[in-house]
Structure 1
Amino acid sequence: MKKVLLIDSTPVKQAPYLNIYTSVFDKKRLSWDILTWDKDADGETSYKNHIFTIHRKMHLHGLSKLNDFFHVSVEMRKIISNGQYTHIVVVNTIWALLLIDVLSQMRGHYIIDIRDYKIERKLFVPVFFLKLVSRAFVTVISSNGFRDFLPEDEHIVVSHNISDFCHESREPSLYPGKKEVTIGYVGYVRYNTPNRNLIKRIGGDLSYKLVYYGNVSKYCDFVNDDSLQRNNVYMMGKFENNEKYKIYEGIDIINSLFDSSYASRTLTPNRLYDALLYKKPMIVPAHSYMAKLVKKYQLGLVTDLSENFNIELKSYIDHFDRGNFVRNCNQLLNEVKSEQQNFFKSIEEFVKG
């Protein structure tokens, strides 16, 4: 009997891409479990509704953090051994490397799903990582930007973080000459430096409203910085995913700024799909994979947030071509849908073997 285990240390509620896998497994009437890590509290491993949760509070730095990962990987081995799984999907490189001995015995019966770029360039990691990639049934990437550190291989497929096409919009709310333009960040609020710079550039300019929806990272101090308090900046707090389309009805431009780390520069954030679905242009940082996409499909403003940013932004709005923008959104959206179908086919082939 085939039995599949999905391993991901991201909380399940924050990992909607897992639903894509489980929907295929349910369709094929396969037994499956999810294995995740609760990093906020210590306790015994729990199991409920197909989900194993390892409870171990994670330290933030140094050897203590490494020790946490080691102990969690030991507990993972126990669960894998007891569960007698025939197929494994491992999300993110760190767990593939920590479980390399387990995966080596399952050649062609595991998938590596890369959702973030973290340790792929460190020390001897590439040697072991590329060996794991070569022996996987397929390697799944959430961004074509990740191809920079992967070999050219036909066994690499893209899985886009998009599933809800129900509320797709037909036209943007932005138009040239709009008196008050709302720039919105929707999601987990982070990337401290670029958002500080954005507020410094246009905070206080009542031609714009800057709104932030979502929980705020504890590393994001721009929220509580008195020197950055402006009367056109609004922190809206937590929201439910089914409220997203309503939120976007009140947003004209998406704030998709992020930091300059290599990890961020290679990502395809969920806000790209929001832009395509809800027909909202984006503001993205220069020198990133997203900048290449935005330039190619003319989906928004690429910026380094220089002192001339307010001039760049006003010029973009004044020359915004609604019809051309919608055509470009639909072109890329169709390409995304096609790649998503290839991903589904790969997962179905995976569980056949």
Structure 2
Amino acid sequence: MKFLIIAFHPRSMTPYAKQYEDAISKAGHEYDIFLWDRFSNGSLEKLGNEFIFHRICTLGGNKLKKIYPFYLFRNTVKKIIKEGKYDKIIVLNTMPGFLLHDVLLKQYKNRFLLDIRDYTYEKISFYLKVVHQLIDSSFFTTISSRGFEKFLGENKKIILNHNISNLDKVEKYPSLDRNNKKITIGFVGAVRYYDENIALIESFKQSSRFNLAFYGREASDCHLEEYCKNHQIKNIEFSGAFQNEEKPTLYKKIDIINSLYGNQKIEVLSALPNRLYDALIFKKPLIVTEGTYLAEIVEKYGIGISLPGSQVHNGKIYEEKISEYVSGFNKRQFTINANQLLEKVNNEQERFHHEIDKFVQK
């Protein structure tokens, strides 16, 4: 059999594709993977079994400007599907599924997987209707958060898949200690959520104990480094884009993970980001925004602290709450809590991988 994996982002932003690639290779099948370099323009590139589509399409920003790149994406992938004569397809996220729904529903019923990573345009009734059709016609559909069922509804074809990797690098104990003289709060990944991060920066811009770090490419509407330069804020580190294999090294530099996404948009209310799993693997407590599904998990398992959203931001509350959390931090209890959740996640992942194996072998 021959498979095609369709991603909507570059390789660095789709590390979860590897679990599908490994399963296909283990079963002895061939596959191609389609990746989208959204930061440069150029001709379609073919490197081994990788198709790399080069077309600028910024993360966030004006949605109208995305229409033409989406159109080119659809036409390019349709041509590859036609020429490649693939037996089965794996679609990473709902937007590429929506753009290719006619091909998937007519030609690949029960022969494709849909991997849903976040909330996109589901508030549009027609879009949500198509997503439901895709779920019903898929071999199975996986979601990265049970919070997604709030807008997708329940369906027997939906199973849970956690955004987890680097399990060979699980740390035993956290680096955070209540006696640390210097503490770094770090954001690792595509740098977004401008309002939340500005609130955090303003809270700690004069702190002698807390430093902030941002490791990742800034989104087009999140110019935090420029803001810090303009306001002469010194205790902030920016390092730009990184490769996924650099994550363990980056996490050694921080003590607390910044996972403040706000609580005013449905896409952040329901998601469980990679940083949750990074917290479990690298043993770093999280700071998250109150009123989100992520906050529910963090509070239930005792692996971090929830802060008010930026719309009610008060610099003193942020500093006081984080300082209080650090003062009462119990390394042993945190480790127990993180490992308990990690075990639960691993058990759920076993079922997910079992379902992948059925898909690639059937």
Distance 1:152 1:66 in 2: 30
Partner of 1:323: 332
Q: Which residue of 1 aligns with 2:21?
A: 22
Structure-2 residue corresponding to 1:230: 233
Alpha-carbon contact 1:93-1:120 (below 8 Å) kept: no
CA distance in 2 between partners of 1:315 and 1:249 (Å)? 23
CA distance in 1, matches of 2:54, 2:187: 31
Give the distance between the partners of 1:31 and 1:253, measured in 2 at CA.
41
Question: In the TM superposition, what whole-angstrom CA distance separates every residue of 1:196-247 from its partner, at most 9, and x where no partner exists?
Answer: 1011112211021112222323322231124543332222344443332233
Q: CA deviation at 1:97?
A: 1.6
Residue identity opposite 1:323 in structure 2: R
Aligned mate of 2:257, from 254, 259, 262: 254
Aligned to 2:289: 285
Q: CA contact under 8 A between 2:23 and 2:360: conserved in structure 1?
A: no
In structure 1, the gaps of 5 or more residues are: none
Distance of aligned partners of 1:13 and 1:254 in 2 relative to their CA distance in 1, 3 Å threshold:
closer
Residues 239 and 67 of structure 1, relative CA distance in 2, 3 Å threshold: closer
SS at match of 2:90: strand
Q: Shift of residue 341 of structure 1?
A: 1.3
SS in structure 1 at match of 2:284 = coil
Does the alignment pair 1:121 with 2:123?
Answer: yes
Spell out the pairing of 1:329-348 with structure 2 (5 A cutoff). Answer: 329-348=338-357
What amino acid is the match of 2:195? T
Matches within 5 A, 1:299-310: 299-304=303-308, 305-307=313-315, 308-310=317-319
SS in 1 for 2:358: helix
Q: How many residues align?
A: 352
Q: Read off the aligned partner of 1:261 and give its amino acid letter.
A: K
Deviates more, 1:199-208 or 1:169-178: 169-178
The residue type equivalent to 1:174 in the other structure is: L
Equivalent runs, 1:57-68 vs 2, <5 Å:
57-58=56-57, 61=62, 65-68=66-69
Q: 1:349 & 1:323 partners in 2: Cα distance?
A: 40
TM-align CA RMSD:
2.0
Amino acid at match of 1:206: S
Within-5 A mapping of 1:1-353: 2-58=1-57, 61=62, 65-105=66-106, 106-225=108-227, 226=229, 228-259=231-262, 260-304=264-308, 305-307=313-315, 308-353=317-362
Cα distance change of structure 1 residues 67 and 287 upon mapping to structure 2, 3 Å threshold: same
Q: CA 1:63–1:191 in structure 2 vs 1: closer, same or farther (change >3 Å)?
A: closer
In 2 relative to 1, CA 334–124 (structure 1 residues): closer, same or farther, beyond 3 Å? same
Q: Which amino acid aligns with 2:169?
A: H
* Deviation larger for 277-286 or 147-156: 147-156
Provide the rounded CA distance (Å) in 2 between the counterparts of 1:127 and 1:187: 31
> Cα distance 1:174–1:342, how it changes in 2: closer, same or farther (>3 A)?
same
Q: Is the 8 A contact 1:200 1:228 kept in 2?
A: no
Normalising to structure 1: TM-score of the pair?
A: 0.93
Say whether the 8 Å CA contact 2:12–2:244 is kept in structure 1. no
Say which SS state the counterpart of residue 124 (structure 1) adopts: helix
In structure 2, what residue type is equivalent to 1:24? Answer: A
Listed one character per residue, the Cα deviations across residues 55-114 of structure 1 (whole Å, up to 9, x for unaligned) are 444486465532332232122212111111111111111221222221112211111111
Residues 275-323 of structure 1 show CA distances to partners (whole Å, capped at 9, x for unaligned) of 1111111111112111011110011110014342211111111111222
Deviates more, 1:32-41 or 1:138-147: 32-41
Q: Write the letter of the residue equivalent to 1:312.
A: K
In structure 1, distance between residues paired with 2:279 and 2:64 = 41
Relative to structure 1, the CA distance from residue 249 to residue 64 in structure 2 (aligned partners, 3 Å threshold; closer, same or farther) is closer
One-letter code of the match for 2:32?
D
Q: CA deviation at 1:42?
A: 4.6
Aligned to 1:139, what secondary structure does the other structure show? strand
What is the rounded CA distance, in whole Å, between the counterparts of 2:304 and 2:74 in structure 1?
A: 42
Percent sequence identity over matched residues?
A: 35
